[in-house]
Amino acid sequence: MKADIRWRGDACFEASSGSGHTLVMDGPPDHGGRNQGARPMETLLMGLGGCSAFDVVHILQKARQPVQDCRCEMTAERADEVPAVFTRIHLHFVVVGDNLKEGQVERAVSLSAEKYCSASIMLARGGVEITHSYAIESSRADGE
């Protein structure tokens, strides 16, 4: 895996992935940025959520669960001192589909957290307290 970061002036950087995709990271105005992209630590948090959500959806699909949507809502706390590392992260999955089995959703979230999500496992081994929760929603308007 490879990536490239290029400075674009002020506190703005453009990241290019080895797979040919780009994203912009920028700082807030009080740190010399112009708020033209996500903060680098936000991209780390988003990467964690993407990694884990990918696993959850993949596991549910392999279990032939009728998953129609999946969101991962994350909250994170950082240390007050420099380096302001993540100390706690909570991932809340909202899985949407009709007739989803709760046990399968719980299993998918647990397997992602404990076995498959490289980002989550790496951060946890580094001392970040990572917790998970989930909710299941029906895609039907009447909730049946």
| DSSP per position, 71-113 | EEEEEEEE-SSSS--EEEEEEEEEEEETT--HHHHHHHHHHII
The chain-wide mean pLDDT, for the chain, equals 96
Domain assignment present for residue 144? The answer is: no
Residue 7 parent element (H or E):
strand 3-7
142 lies in a domain? no
CA 25 and chain centroid, separation: 16
CATH of the domain at 94: 3.30.300.20
Q: How many domains does the chain have?
A: 2
Please check whether residues 21 and 44 belong to one and the same domain. no
Give yes or no: residues 51 and 21 share one domain. no
Does residue 55 share a domain with residue 9? no
Per-residue model confidence as pLDDT tens digits over 58-110: 999 999 999 999 999 999 999 999 999 999 999 999 999 999 999 999 999 99
Q: How confident is the model at residue 144 (pLDDT cuts 50, 70, 90)?
A: low
**pLDDT classification of 139: cutoffs 50, 70, 90:** confident
Domain assignment present for 90: yes
Assess whether 61 and 16 both reside in one domain.
no
Using alpha carbons, select from 23, 37, 47, 7 the residue that is nearest to residue 15. 23
Regarding whether 67 and 51 lie in a shared domain, the answer is: yes
The answer on 58 and 28 residing in a single domain is no
List the domain range (segments joined by +) for residue 3. Answer: 1-38
Tokens of 68: 């129609």
**95 located within any domain:** yes
What pLDDT band is residue 140 in, cutting at 50, 70 and 90? confident
pLDDT band of residue 49 (cuts 50, 70, 90) is very high
**pTM score, two decimals?**
0.92
pLDDT of residue 142: 58
28 located within any domain? yes
For 116-142, the three-class secondary structure string (H helix, E strand, C coil) is HCHHHHHHHHCCCEEEEEEEEECCCCC
Based on the fold, state whether residues 86 and 133 are members of the same structural domain: yes
